[in-house]
Amino acid sequence: MNASSDYAAYIALVRRHLPQVGEAPLSGGSVLEDLGLDSLGTVRLLAELEDTFGKELPEEALHESTFQTVDSLWEAFQLFAAPVAD
């Protein structure tokens, strides 16, 4: 995968966790909580994100601001996620 296809896969994954969004445009600045993502949904989204990309966010990166917007989560994942150890 390249960066563009990774981001497209990420957006598709996030969209699955926001069922009320449907096919409406999803921008990088979209606030996840405003789109219906609650605390349980956040945990599920993070687990699927880590499984899909084979990386995990360290605890130090798990801040409320990380999960603020579509792009804040993607940026944190790109900056801080490390490959999952086998």
Supply the pLDDT for residue 1: 58
- Total number of domains in the chain: 1
Domain with 52 in it? 3-83
What confidence tens digit (pLDDT) does each residue in 6-33 have?
Answer: 999 999 999 999 978 888 889 999 999 9
Supply the pLDDT for residue 57: 94
Q: Assess whether pLDDT exceeds 90 at residue 46.
A: yes
Domain of 7, CATH number, reads 1.10.1200.10
Give how far Cα 15 sits from Cα of 25, 39, 51, Å.
10, 16, 16
